[in-house]
């Protein structure tokens, strides 16, 4: 089985044409042996409401604790050579800025649907890495 840590980080209201990757504490990542192994983008919401089209684009980064992986591999005579600890962070950007919707029309409904779609996409990425029994333990942002 695969052990891992994961996080869904960041929702912003910037233009979504190209969502930049989420900010993660890179100094702690590097000091802890973590290496970025993947970055991907995905449109998690695209819908028109009358004259307004709303799009949400996610950008996800994945890190693997390579130092742990190397230690375990050497101690098991290379019998275990898999990512044992994985960290994910995702940022979601909206276009247009949701703060600019007329009278905030539908804002909460949009955010709810985008959260659901982003989490589904995020869980699929984790499952593709062999992580199972995925559950949410909290929410927050990394600034």
**Which tens digit of pLDDT belongs to each residue from 101-143?**
766 667 788 888 888 887 887 788 778 877 777 777 677 665 5
Domain membership flag for residue 14: no
**For the chain, what is the domain count?**
1
Element (H, E) at 29: helix 26-31
Distances (CA, A) of 108 to 6, 99, 139: 25, 11, 17
pLDDT: is 29 or 2 the higher one? 29
* Domain encompassing residue 79: 26-90+98-128
Domain membership flag for residue 11: no
Domain membership flag for residue 54: yes
Domain membership flag for residue 44: yes
Domain membership flag for residue 134: no
Q: Are 15 and 93 in contact (CB under 8 A)?
A: yes
Element (H, E) at 35: strand 34-49
Domain membership flag for residue 66: yes
Is residue 12 scored above 50 in pLDDT? no
pLDDT: is 129 or 65 the higher one? 65
For residue range 17-55, what is the model confidence (pLDDT) as tens digits? 578 888 888 777 777 788 899 898 888 889 887 777 888
- The band of 10, judged by pLDDT with boundaries at 50, 70 and 90, is very low
State residue 141's pLDDT score.
64
Domain membership flag for residue 142: no
């Amino acid at each position: 089985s695969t052990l891992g840590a994961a996080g869904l980080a960041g929702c912003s209201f910037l233009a979504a044409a190209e969502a930049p990757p989420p900010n993660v504490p890179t100094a702690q990542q590097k000091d802890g042996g973590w290496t970025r192994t993947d970055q991907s983008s995905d449109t998690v919401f695209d819908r028109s409401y009358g004259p307004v089209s709303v799009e949400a684009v996610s950008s996800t980064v994945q890190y693997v604790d390579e130092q742990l992986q190397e230690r375990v591999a050497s101690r098991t005579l290379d019998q275990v050579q898999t990512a044992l600890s994985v960290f994910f962070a995702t940022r979601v950007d909206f276009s247009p800025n949701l703060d600019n919707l007329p009278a905030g029309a539908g804002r909460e409904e949009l955010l709810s649907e985008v959260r659901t779609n982003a989490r589904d996409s995020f869980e699929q990425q984790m499952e593709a890495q062999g992580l199972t029994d995925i559950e949410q333990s909290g929410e927050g942002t990394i600034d």
